[in-house]
Chains A and B, each alone.
Chain A
Amino acid sequence: MAEALLETEGLTRRFGALAAVDGVTLRVERGTVHAIIGPNGAGKSTLLNLLSGELRASSGRVRFRGEDVTRAPPDVLSRKGIGRSYQTANVFPELTCAESVWLAAHSRNAGRLFQPRRDGADTAAREEDALRACGLSGRRLSRAAELSYGEQRQLEVAMMLATDPELLLVDEPLAGLGHDEARMVLALLREVAQQRTLVLIEHDMDAVFAVAQTVTVLVNGRVLESGPPAAIRASPRVREAYLGEEEP
């Protein structure tokens, strides 16, 4: 069995009486794409927020590279190598694409408060690569607010890539994209997945079954089933609870 990059144990998050994430135990292996699927409101985004440190767990643990990071704040997790993108575009409306991606790339040198004006070819190269990979080279100087919704999503992914994360938490990267843009982002994620580990939330089942090595089905905050795509597809419980409603 491959090495686990990220593990959770009984991870739980309550909002009042509602347990949005309820005792989730997961094992994300290094170098794989681990998809999380489930109906609306299943707790997928909440789970991602727990993994990125944006929400505090009510109980349970998270381990990254074997280290307990349950209470680590998002900036620390980011510097440890966890990057994320959001379900709805979460960008800097007043900043240009180049500035936004530069900030992301520069964050790797942000240990010190006052750095030299330009921090070397390294940052510039990461900025350039991320913009090109996400098809935004032509939009370098456009402000995020001027981008189409799809382009904002691409910028979202570009910022994540520019931080050079080892683990990517990606929340519905294809939602709201046109056909061509979706194909491009999907191809990009596949390429990225060659060297990194992905936790992918996606409603597009064709995309999920095409790229994922492991699929976890979440319903009402709990893990219903977890395994290779073929097994998930064949599982009667999953078909009943979730997939059934989408397949003919």
Chain B
Amino acid sequence: MINSYGFRKLKNRLFFVLCAVCVVIAVVPLASILFEVAIRGAPQLSITFLTANASKGGIGHAIQGTLIIVGLTSIIGIPIGILSGVYLSEFGNNRYTQSLRTINNMLTQFPSIIVGITAYALIFNILGSSKWAFSTLTGAVALSFIMIPIITRTTEESLKLVPNTLREASLALGAHKWRTTLSVVLPTTKTGLITGILLAVARVAGETAPLIMTIQGSRYFFRGLNGRIAALPLEIWTNSLQPYPEAQAQGWGAALILIIIVLTLNIAVRLASRRE
């Protein structure tokens, strides 16, 4: 006969083991990717590799490209995203708001290759020539289509957490609604906003598909908003398709750098939200 206490202890054990196994299954691929990338990428790292362009065997142009394109995307995406979130949370008290919110949530999950094609078609039709269609600008527009819905949503969600009593306190002092939003509501949720922005930046920094359709990659440093430009994800992609071992090795190096950038952003998110 089974001792019931012993049996329950056994069940407890079993459950614990099962959970542990699942954790291992989830973590092993992730850890092995990190490990593999670090092992293969690290030997590539050198000053030249980080600063020179493709013709000298470096990925400096891709790092620069990623910084420029993510910066441009942020310039377009952050203000629009935050203002849209503010609108939905503070001013969107009408019957259109719910559908706007649904569409926005849908856009956060939108297939990014389609976003790329859309940006291409948009710029092509607005500027009326294919000269601008494959360009830095088009890439930034595409990435901001990805960034805006994310920031809109995180902004709205963090504004919703601000207690209404604070809005009322400000309005009761005779402050206008816009002033209340700007000086009372937004500062109260500053860390929420920063977290949303950093997450969105990390997300677009790693996007590849929309860039294939827009900036197309380049072997050189930045050549103007209407020119093609390199970016780390594209650099990894093109290098990995090459038959040459040196090119593949460069791809590993670029992958390591991209992972470091995205990880750093995520750690920054953790630090920012911990302060709250």
Q: Do A and B bind each other?
A: no
Interface residues of A (CB under 8 A from B): none
